[in-house]
């Protein structure tokens, strides 16, 4: 249950609204075309006014940026393109003064090939202790010319790369992201130290990248479709790793959110047992099409799988890896699936935006915490990045078939009339802003009560000040086909109309907020949501 500010306790994360900052694209403080910490510090008032409880920063560490910073060369240093450690400390403190906690992103599955450990491993050669921190193996075939196994990559292509001395090393993502060997005690010790390092700097939580991939089948046996356990997803050893991480977090009152993509609800919930991770992202909700029955089933399954372990659910519509919500909801297929991404998929942005507004009210009314990806509060669409400007390795590794993830990473528009929409750059930003971006600028939306930004601000304000939002029970109410209606403990009712025709509202005392407008007879139009006081 959302408590008034004065009573918010250590359990803040059970009903928090957490804003995801992709630092490269949030705001540019020094004008060089890349977002940075100075930019974030200058824009903290935007986040405070929006009313979020915490900010999750995608990796800001030293990185060659082969995978947008998820290729970390040093977990304790800020990339000079973003700023300095001193600035990060100031940012954490300034945000906290505004009531905003900080969550950092830790990438434990792999490091950059520029990380000191990997460079030492290359230099030290086969059989060395330095190589044991990674997965180096001789190849198969007569001359070791074949990779040690056939594991499929998380990004298309091979998971093994051969080095000049003939050995191969494992990388579930790009060759520039060698996987660490989590059976090695130094790997475990080092990460626990890194967690301490950031908790000591005042961060309140840690997002764990690719959290279900760290442990590997020790035999590195070939992948056999349909045979459990998968050789590198959801291995049982992971739970022991997260139990010791939890002991570190508990020293500081820190919390975890795991990036756990697992279709099996029972296996997923195991990560959320009371001595493991506090929360994990709910990707089933993010992937779910805009259909009442499918959404209801996903919501019910989510709540049912979290209940036995006592963990709050998380709700997320978008992040830096997936298609922007207004674009996805305006397509014929409104679900999200990495495998289905293609260039030129048509979308109806007006329809998608109507649905995204309704989805915002749905999401913010559900029990648990909510993640809000930067630019969603502006209703930004997925941008078509010209092929020659694409930077995402997912695009290149697919042989140019997958458009990649840059379309949701475009530098934010802050001021309609400023160069580069007020992103702050004096030269062209690292990714081009599409035609018409100024129409989405925060300053323009701020002044418009009908804008997406105004809707989010008002919804967050109400969610915070109204009893019964956040963690707690949800009761479904009878509703016509294609309509979701539920009541929260404080008596607030949320109705979402996913059918094609307007519907009558249930009896109520007041309308708190509508994602669109009620029709002349007070009915709720298609693709619209409302919060009512019952
Ligand atoms: C996670 C990140 C993604 C990154 C990948 C490899 O899925 O969200 O952006 O490419 O891990 O680190």
Q: What is the pLDDT of residues 371-421, one digit of tens each?
A: 999 999 999 999 999 999 999 999 999 999 999 999 999 999 999 999 999
DSSP three-state, residue 356? helix
Per-residue pLDDT, 225: 85
pLDDT in tens, 144-155: 999 999 998 889
Q: Give the position of tokens 């078939």.
A: 401
Q: Evaluate: CB of 209 within 6 angstroms of ligand 1.
A: yes
Report how far ligand 1's centroid is from the alpha carbon of 321 (Å).
7
107 lines ligand 1 (CB under 6 A): yes
Q: What pLDDT score was predicted for residue 40?
A: 98
Would you say the CB of residue 173 lies under 6 angstroms from ligand 1?
yes
- Within 10 angstroms of residue 510's Cβ, the number of other Cβ atoms is 8
Pick the CATH number of 6-108+186-457 from 3.20.20.80, 3.30.70.380, 3.40.50.300, 3.40.50.720: 3.20.20.80
Closest CA to 209 of 237, 179, 168, 247: 179
Q: Pick the catalytic residue from 251, 337, 417, 504.
A: 251
CATH 2.60.40.1180 location in the chain: 472-533
Question: Among 53, 468, 475, which Cα is nearest to 303's?
Answer: 475
116-170 CATH: 3.90.400.10
70 CB near ligand 1 (under 6 Å):
yes
CATH number of the domain located at residue range(s) 472-533 in this protein: 2.60.40.1180
The predicted structure's pLDDT at residue 265 = 85
Q: Is the CB of 281 under 6 A from ligand 1?
A: no
| Residue 264: active-site member | no
pLDDT score, position 228? 85
Residue with tokens 């997912």: 394
Q: Dihedral of CA 124/129/134/140: which sign?
A: positive
- Centroid of ligand 1 to alpha carbon of 16 (angstroms): 23
Verify whether residue 417 is a known catalytic residue: no
Kind plus residue range of the DSSP H or E element containing 358:
helix 349-365
Check residue 8 and give its pLDDT.
Answer: 45
Do 182 and 214 touch, CB atoms closer than 8 A? Answer: yes
Q: How many alpha carbons lie under 13 Å from residue 527 in its C-beta half-sphere?
A: 13
Whether the ω angle into residue 107 lies within 30 degrees of 0, i.e. cis, is no
Query: Cβ distance 433 to 420 under 8 Å?
Result: yes
User: Which residue of 21, 68, 69, 70 sits with most ligand 1 atoms within 8 Å of its CB, as the best mutation to test the pocket?
Assistant: 70
Which helix H or strand E contains 492, and what residues bound it? Answer: strand 492-497
Nearest CA to ligand 1 atom 7: 210
The ranges of the chain annotated as CATH 3.20.20.80 are 6-108+186-457
Tokens 């979020």 identify what position? 52
CA of 366 to the centre of ligand 1 (A): 26
Q: Report the alpha-carbon distance of residue 157 to residue 398 in Å, rounded.
A: 7
- Which pLDDT does position 45 carry in this prediction? 98
Contact 352, 330 (CB under 8 A): yes
What span, in angstroms and rounded, lies between the C-alpha atoms of 299 and 379?
A: 23
Ligand 1 atom with the shortest distance to the CA of 173: 6
Q: Tell whether ligand 1 has an atom less than 6 A from the beta carbon of residue 373.
A: no
Q: What is the distance between the alpha carbons of residues 354 and 528, in angstroms, rounded to a whole number?
A: 7
Q: Indicate whether residue 322 lines ligand 1 (CB < 6 A).
A: no
Q: How far is the CA of 144 from the centre of ligand 1 (A)?
A: 30
Report how far ligand 1's centroid is from the alpha carbon of 444 (Å): 33
23 CA from centroid of ligand 1 (Å): 15
User: Ligand 1: which residue has its CA nearest to atom 6?
Assistant: 70
pLDDT at 173: 97
Neighbours of 266 (CB within 10 A): 9
Tokens representing residue 176 in the block: 């520039």
Q: Is 313 exposed, middle or buried (0-12, 13-18, 19+ CB in 10 A)?
A: buried
Phi-psi label, residue 244: left if phi above 0, alpha if psi -120 to 50, beta otherwise: alpha
pLDDT of the chain, 534 residues: tens digit per residue: 343 443 445 899 999 999 999 999 999 999 999 999 999 999 999 999 999 999 999 999 999 999 999 999 999 999 999 999 999 999 999 999 999 999 999 999 999 999 999 999 999 999 999 999 999 999 999 999 999 999 988 898 899 999 999 999 999 999 999 999 999 999 999 999 999 999 999 999 999 999 999 999 999 999 888 888 899 999 999 999 999 999 999 999 999 999 999 988 889 999 999 999 999 999 999 999 999 999 999 999 999 999 999 999 999 999 999 999 999 999 999 999 999 999 999 999 999 999 999 999 999 999 999 999 999 999 999 999 999 999 999 999 999 999 999 999 999 999 999 999 999 999 999 999 999 999 999 999 999 999 999 999 999 999 999 999 999 999 999 999 999 999 999 899 999 999 999 999 999 999 999 999 999 999 999 999 999 999
Predicted TM-score (pTM) of this structure: 0.97
Per-residue model confidence (pLDDT) at position 218: 94
Residue 172 alpha carbon, nearest atom of ligand 1 = 6
> What six digits make up the tokens of 390?
């694409």
Predicted pLDDT of residue 3: 39
CB 251 within 8 A of CB 299: no
DSSP letter, residue 438: G
485: helix, coil or strand?
A: strand
Q: From 61, 113, 206, 210, give the residue whose CB has the most ligand 1 atoms within 8 Å, as the site to mutate.
A: 210
End-to-end CA distance of the chain: 17
d(CA 532, CA 534): 6
Numbered ranges of CATH 3.90.400.10 in the chain: 116-170
pLDDT of residue 341: 96
Which of these is catalytic: 15, 28, 209, 392? 209
Q: Is the CB of residue 67 below 6 angstroms from any atom belonging to ligand 1?
A: yes
Task: Name the one residue in this structure whose structure tokens are 């969610």.
Answer: 463
To 10 degrees, the CA torsion angle through 330, 336, 321, 438?
0
């Amino acid at each position: 249950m959302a408590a008034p500010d004065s009573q918010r306790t250590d359990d803040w994360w059970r009903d928090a609204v957490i804003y995801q900052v992709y630092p490269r694209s949030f705001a540019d403080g020094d004008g060089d075309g890349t977002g940075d910490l100075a930019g974030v510090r200058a824009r903290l008032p935007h986040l405070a006014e929006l009313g979020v409880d915490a900010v999750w920063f995608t990796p800001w560490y030293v990185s060659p940026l082969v995978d947008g910073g998820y290729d970390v060369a040093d977990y304790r240093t800020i990339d000079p393109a973003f700023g300095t450690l001193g600035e990060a400390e100031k940012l954490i403190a300034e945000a906290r003064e505004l009531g905003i906690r900080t969550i950092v992103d830790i990438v434990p599955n792999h490091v950059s090939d520029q990380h000191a450990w990997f460079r030492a491993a290359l230099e030290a050669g086969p059989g060395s202790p330095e190589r044991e921190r990674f997965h180096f193996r001789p190849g198969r075939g007569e001359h070791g010319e074949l990779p040690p196994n056939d594991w499929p990559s998380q990004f298309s292509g091979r998971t093994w790369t051969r080095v000049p001395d003939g050995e191969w090393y494992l990388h579930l993502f790009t060759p520039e992201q060698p996987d660490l060997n989590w059976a090695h005690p130094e790997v475990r010790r080092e990460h626990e130290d890194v967690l301490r390092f950031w908790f000591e700097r005042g961060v309140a939580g840690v997002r764990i990248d690719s959290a279900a991939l760290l442990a590997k089948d020790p035999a590195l046996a070939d992948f056999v479709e349909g045979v459990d356990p998968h050789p590198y997803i959801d291995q049982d050893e992971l739970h022991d790793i997260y139990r010791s991480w939890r002991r570190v977090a508990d020293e500081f009152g820190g919390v975890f959110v795991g990036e756990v993509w697992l279709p099996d609800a029972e296996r997923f919930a195991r990560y959320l047992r009371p001595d493991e991770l506090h929360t994990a992202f709910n990707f089933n909700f993010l992937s779910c099409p805009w259909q009442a029955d499918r959404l209801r089933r996903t919501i019910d399954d989510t709540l049912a799988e979290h209940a036995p372990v006592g963990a709050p659910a998380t709700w997320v519509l978008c992040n830096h890896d997936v298609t922007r919500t207004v674009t996805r909801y305006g397509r014929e297929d409104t679900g999200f699936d990495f495998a289905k991404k293609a260039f030129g998929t048509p979308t109806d942005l007006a329809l998608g935006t109507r649905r995204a507004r309704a989805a915002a009210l749905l999401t913010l009314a559900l029990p648990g915490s909510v993640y809000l990806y930067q630019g969603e509060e502006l209703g930004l669409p997925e941008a078509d990045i010209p092929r020659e400007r694409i930077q995402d390795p997912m695009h290149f590794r697919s042989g140019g078939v997958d458009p990649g993830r840059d379309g949701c990473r475009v530098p934010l528009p802050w001021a309609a009339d400023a160069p580069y929409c007020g992103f702050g750059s004096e030269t062209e930003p690292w990714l081009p802003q599409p035609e018409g971006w100024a129409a989405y600028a925060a300053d323009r939306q701020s002044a418009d009560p009908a804008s997406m930004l105004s809707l989010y601000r008002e919804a967050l304000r109400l969610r915070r000040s109204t009893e019964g939002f956040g963690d707690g029970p949800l009761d479904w109410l009878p509703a016509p086909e294609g309509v979701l209606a539920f009541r929260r403990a404080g008596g607030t009712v949320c109705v979402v109309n996913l059918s094609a025709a307007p519907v009558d509202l249930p009896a109520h005392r007041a309308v708190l907020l509508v994602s669109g407008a009620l029709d002349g007879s007070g009915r709720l139009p298609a693709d619209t949501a409302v919060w009512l006081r019952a």
